[in-house]
Structure 1
Amino acid sequence: MSHQRPGRDGVDVVVIGAGINGLAVARDAASRGLRVVVVERADVGSGTSSTSSRLIHGGLKYLERYDFKLVHESIRERHILFRTAPHLVRDYPMLIPFYAGNSRPGPKIRLGLLAFDIMAGPWGRGLSRGVSPREIARRWPTLSRDGLRGGAIFHDAQVPWAERLCVELLLDSERLGARVLTHTTVTGLIVEGARVLGVRIRDNQTGEQGEIRAGVTVNAAGPWIDRVLDGQVASPRLNGGTKGSHVVVDPFPGAPDTCIFFEAAADQRPIFVFPWAGRYLLGSTDLTYDGDLDEVVASDAEIDYLLSETNRIFPSAGLTRDDVLYSVAGVRPLPYTEGVKDNAEISRGHSVHDHAPAYRGLLTVIGGKLTTHRALGEDVTDAVLRVLGRGRRRCVTRRRPLPGAEVADWKAFARDFVRWSPLTRAQSTRLLDIYGVRARRVLDLAASHPDLAEVVDEETGALAAEVVLAAREEKAVTLGDILLRRTLIGLGPDMGLSAARACAEVAVRHLGWDEERAQAEIAAYEAEVRRRYRPRVLAAQTGKRGEGRFS
């Protein structure tokens, strides 16, 4: 391809979107010496990346489609994450029960597990093994025995806080020299003739407008990629994402202490019951979705489906809609596949679409998922270098630890931190799980001012210092950024609504907010969680789900 020089702003690549994909591109490109700017209209990881099943999985499901390339890539990337982000990624064994009448008979699943273990080799997290109905009855006595034919234990991985994975990619990208502009909207592409030369932008808070010219523009907006192109660039439909919804419930009668991965009776879809953060995540659905991408919520039908399937597999559960603390829904950024009858057939891999020769300098990222985000970033950077006419540069992200893992021996650090921390064991463990070695920064801040050592959320034991850290060092702008994607207070049973006032008061005392802004932020946060999550705590105040007023 023809050589392109950086834009007038000295930028090699501008990335649209700061979800897991866009951040992975920024990190990899910056690590290879490219000058990078990322533009995100909301907050990092605030779209699809925060609505996943929170698994870092080796791709067992993809064996069914004979997608061996994706399975191998997933296994490799899972292994890399255990090495580069051990504070965020953990082993996650799961039981796969076999029932009479399942579309996938037990012998077929066992064969698939054997093939998976062979492919995983030294990167495996433990060999799969079969379990008898008797062992299941002893180990999981509340699991339905109706038609039970046995099962298998499979070893995979989980990232409980996918939001923090995005935050750490942000931190590392900026350490490497990238600039990440959040709460900044791309209002259009700069198109001159047969070239795309960057983007026009608007600051959401000040209204200030400008442009960023770059040698390459990467459209990494997830399910919104077609919207970025619409009216700007002639292109076939690229995104064919499906909707996935989850519900969050408290521990219920008969709840398992391990993940159960089973086949739904209603549609033969594999679904999960996940132990997660002291509660349970039930999911997910996989529905064709052509609605408003900014108004994606779990429907009553989806909630009923997940509750019904959980009640079937755990007869003592007795879950109803009143047990749902909140729901989470998002659209997977899958490639558009015309005429598909089963959404499971749509590829979960990623690709890079070069719009040249009609629009040189424009790349669109299609697909992508949490597990393989790093590989996607590497592939996109390779494509960027080709468009820029530059030679290959060695990728370093395969071995570069994320900021929370920058320590020679993570396990030793974690043991020592709990030992010398002035906090309770539960508080110290939580800080390690969220911040890794950067938990020391929270304690440093807490020691710097008496009121920063105060607890702002009784449910989690979170400290006021975390609010300050989120804004000063992690690019949080709004109260929602702080609660939902930095401190994670907002993912508790009442979605942090009871802690919102205390956190806003910390921002008034230490971050320069005035009382008017504090009130506006609390109202905006309540509106965000009501619109996206349908929290029970708000429904309970009015007797009607999805409505209510927090004060």
Structure 2
Amino acid sequence: MSHHPAGTGGEVDLAVIGAGINGLAIARDAAARGLRVAVVDRADVGSGTSSTSSRLIHGGLKYLERYDFSLVHESIRERHLLFRTAPHLVRDYPMLIPFYRGNSRPGPLIRLGLLAFDMLALGRGRGLSRRVPLREVARRWPGLSREGLLGAALFHDAQVPWAERLCVELLLDARRLGARVLTHTTVTGLIVDNGHVRGLRTQDRRTGGREEIRAAVTVNAAGPWIDRVLDGQVESRRLNGGTKGSHVVVDPFPGAPDTCIFFEAAADRRPIFVLPWQGRYVLGSTDLSYEGDLDDVTAGDDEIGYLLAETNRIFPDARLTPGDVLYSIAGIRPLPHTTGVADNAKISRGHTVLDHAPAYRGLLTVIGGKLTTHRALAEDVTDAVLRELGRRPRRCVTRGRPLPGAETSDWPEFARDFLRHSPLDRARSARLLTLYGVRARRVLDLAAEDPALAETVDKESGALAAEVVMAVREEGAVTLGDIMLRRTLIGLGADMGLSAAPACAAVAVRHLGWDEERARAEVIGYEKELERYRPRALATPAAGDRRTS
């Protein structure tokens, strides 16, 4: 498949600002349709909103409340496609919805909603929802509060435990199709010429190198930062009205469920989750209006308190305290700016593509979008780009195109075969499969070529040195944070990878050309990057000892 690589300098058909899940999906779709594409992000792929979600690929049950049938329909279709194109990353995820006396949404109404949902998902779900009688609730979810419990329903959705890897695979595929992806590169300005946007000016944040990327069309896909991209260059009303969503991560607690629990908070009637995730639990999320600094979003004490209190209320034996929180994850949803809304849940979760013409031709801004529907959003944006370019429509191929980790005719068979022949123990082999899919073989190959790369760099996950090398050589990682938080995912362990960071930096010194000074600076930079997660491991006295080791 020959594609024109988007070379340095020169002109491309499309420049995309933002390498979150949407920007990467746009680059992948556009490159697959033969366009020359460049993508620029001032940080790493998926390091903004994409890595702060609830990690659900959901059919959009919540959107039925607002009669947003088109979004539900789109969400169900996209979930179904992801089961096929990324089976290593996306899995069936049952959820229990308990009904309590006094809930604002009565049980029969929720069951009616589930019935509608099942009908919309006909043939594209993982199982029908069903009523769960009280006896069964008592038996299967003994930790759940009985007080005022009227019944429950079980339905099937989907989870992407490692949303970061979804972004990495979109990056890999976009690059393979000829797109150029520049991370850790700031867009210093748009090239605006007589009411026409003709690309961007960039600066590499590490080398200071400057470059102009001229483009026939520029797409602003910077998520919550879309207004900042336009600021001072393009006159526009405020477009982003993102709300803040916070989650906390805790170890298993007394009475903890083995399935996701989706329930109504007593404090504000908001539907929230207790989400089983990689042997731990994510509690979330909040939905607060936010006017603060977009680059410094952390979960507030009040939000953490709210999530713990609501969890303790429906799991009375949990008795979770702020000291039980391993870390918190907070981000801004890229929602459209909406005035006069009393309830943030009523702000649309759909996406729109705004054409800034006639005032500014050649510029599109993407408003909204969510993890589940990234591919559909990209299809819409690429269609708009082709129209803008005056080209005839070209068929989108991403509906059936597997992500790089799923390139096998029979995923279950590949997984069985890999587990059977892997030299590692079952838990570590299974982790490689869920992170890398068929590319897990690549990790084992690297470790086989150089025994030093077969060493374990992190006790908790069992991650190998080979993964650190692959992250940089083949997956576009630049910093230690990129390696830990968005490639190997070591950084999402109990201590956020603080104990493993020096070992990972040492691998980079031995195999990737870092010097000792850079390794030290990267470990310090990594600890700084973790501050917004408020990790318990950084607050303990041992943190100071670790830095000097």
TM-score by length of 2: 0.98
Task: Please list, as runs of the form range in 1=range in 2, the aligned pairs for 1:102-501 lying within 5 A after superposition.
Answer: 102-501=103-502
Say if 1:59 and 1:70, in contact at 8 Å, map to a contact too.
Answer: yes
Matched-pair identity in %: 79
Equivalent residue number for residue 538 of structure 2: 538
Q: Look up the SS of the partner of 2:39 in the other structure.
A: strand
Q: Is this contact kept in 2: 1:7–1:213, CA < 8 A?
A: no
Aligned residue number for residue 78 of structure 1: 79
Matched-pair contact (CA < 8 Å) for 2:9–2:212: no
What residue number does 2:529 align with?
A: 528
Query: How far apart are the structure 1 equivalents of 2:100 and 2:495?
Result: 36
Q: CA deviation digits over 1:437-494, x for unaligned, max 9?
A: 0000000100111110000001000000000000000000000000000000000000
Inter-partner Cα distance in structure 1 for 2:180 and 2:375: 19
Contact 1:8 1:214 in 2 (8 A): no
1:549, CA displacement in angstroms?
A: 6.8
Pairs within 5 Å for 1:92-111:
92-111=93-112
What are structure 1's unaligned runs of at least 5 residues? 1-5
In 2: Cα distance, 1:170 partner to 1:208 partner: 22
Residue 43 of structure 1 corresponds to 44
CA distance in 2, matches of 1:15, 1:323: 41
Give, in whole Å, the separation in 1 of the partners of 2:448 and 2:9: 45
Task: Give the structure 1 partner of residue 3 of structure 2.
Answer: none
Opposite residue 139 of structure 1, the aligned amino acid is R
Once residues 330 and 155 of structure 1 are traced to their aligned partners in structure 2, the CA distance between those partners, rounded to angstroms, is 26
**8 A contact 2:9–2:211 mirrored in 1:** no
Please say if residues 41 and 185 of structure 2, whose CA atoms lie closer than 8 Å, have aligned partners that are also in contact.
yes
Tell me, in whole angstroms, the C-alpha distance in 1 between the residues paired with 2:10 and 2:67.
Answer: 45
Q: Return the offset for 1:9.
A: 1.6
CA offset at residue 548 of structure 1? 9.3
**Partner deviation per Cα, 1:250-293 (whole Å, 9 max, x = no partner):** 00011000000000000000000011011000000000001000
Partners in 2 of 1:448 and 1:506 — Cα distance? 15
Taking the aligned partners of 2:436 and 2:121, their CA distance within structure 1 comes to 29
CA offsets 1:221-274 (integer angstroms, 9 cap, x no match): 000000000000000000010000000000001100000000000000000001
Instruction: Supply the distance in 2 between the matched residues of 1:268 and 1:294 (Cα, whole angstroms).
Output: 29
Question: Displacement, 1:541?
Answer: 1.6
- Conservation of the 8 A alpha-carbon contact between 1:497 and 1:550: no
SS in 2 for 1:150: strand
CA contact (8 A) 1:56 1:156 kept: yes
Q: Which residue does 1:23 correspond to in 2?
A: 24
Distance 1:229 1:321 in 2: 39
Query: Per-residue displacement from partner, 1:15-54 (whole Å, max 9, x unpaired)?
Result: 0000001001000000000000000100000000000000
- The answer to whether the 8 A contact 2:11-2:213 is kept is no
C-alpha displacement of 1:8? 7.8
Q: Is the CA contact 2:14–2:216 (under 8 Å) kept in the aligned structure 1?
A: yes
Counterpart residue type for residue 380 of structure 1: V
Alpha-carbon contact 1:526-1:550 (below 8 Å) kept: no
Deviations 1:134-174 (A, max 9, x none): 21111111100010000100100000000000000000000
For the residues of structure 1 that align with 2:93 and 2:391, how far apart are their CA atoms?
Answer: 41
* Cα distance in 1, alignment partners of residues 84 and 389 from structure 2: 32
The amino acid across from 1:354 in the alignment is D
Q: CA deviation at 1:550?
A: 3.7
Paired letter, 1:78: R
Measure the CA separation in 1 of the matches of 2:348 and 2:184. 31
**Size of the alignment, in residue pairs?**
542
| Letter paired with 2:83 | F
Rate the CA distance shift 1:483–1:214 in 2: closer, same or farther, 3 A.
Answer: same
Structure 1 position 125, deviation (Å):
1.4
> Is 2:27–2:179's contact at 8 Å kept on the other side of the alignment?
yes
Q: Secondary structure at the match of 1:262?
A: strand
Give the distance between the partners of 2:332 and 2:511, measured in 1 at CA: 37
Q: Contact 2:44–2:183 at 8 Å: present in 1 too?
A: yes
**Separation (CA, whole Å) in 2 of partners of 1:541 and 1:159:** 34
How far apart are the structure 1 equivalents of 2:43 and 2:67? 37
Q: How far apart, in 2, do the equivalents of 1:303 and 1:101 lie?
A: 24
Instruction: Name the counterpart of 1:3.
Output: none
C-alpha deviations, 1:495-518, integer Å up to 9, x for none? 000000110000000000000000
Q: Compute the displacement of 1:7 (Å).
A: 12
DSSP 3-state at the match of 1:455: coil
**Separation in structure 1 between the aligned mates of residue 47 and residue 177 of structure 2, nearest angstrom:** 22
Q: Distance in 1 between matches of 2:127 and 2:241?
A: 35
What amino acid is aligned across from residue 452 of structure 2 in structure 1? Answer: D
Q: CA RMSD in A?
A: 1.3
Q: TM-score, normalised on structure 1?
A: 0.97
Please, which runs of 5 or more residues in structure 2 have no aligned partner? 1-6
Distance in 1 (alpha carbons) for counterparts of 2:9 and 2:84: 39
How many angstroms does 1:96 deviate by?
A: 0.1
Query: 1:62: which partner in 2?
Result: 63
> For the residues of structure 1 that align with 2:441 and 2:321, how far apart are their CA atoms?
42
AA paired with 1:355? H
Do 2:86 and 2:406's aligned partners in 1 also have CA atoms closer than 8 Å? yes
- What letter is aligned with 1:497? L
Please state whether the residue corresponding to 2:541 is helix, strand or coil. Answer: helix
Inter-partner Cα distance in structure 2 for 1:82 and 1:140? 27
Distance 1:351 1:317 in 2: 42
For 1:309, what is the secondary structure of its paired residue? helix
Q: Is the 8 A contact 1:538 1:548 kept in 2?
A: no
Judged with a 3 Å threshold, the aligned counterparts in structure 2 of structure 1 residues 549 and 357 are, in CA distance, closer, same or farther, namely farther
Helix, strand or coil: the match of 2:357?
coil
Instruction: Quote the Cα distance in structure 1 between the aligned partners of 2:145 and 2:182.
Output: 50
After superposition, give the CA deviation of every residue in 1:381-404 in whole Å (9 maximum; x if it has no partner).
000001000110000000000000
- Quote the Cα distance in structure 2 between the aligned partners of 1:521 and 1:124: 44
Q: What is the alpha-carbon distance in structure 2 between the residues aligned to residue 399 and residue 280 of structure 1?
A: 33
> Structure 1 residue 10: deviation in Å?
2.9
Distance 1:297 1:203 in 2: 27
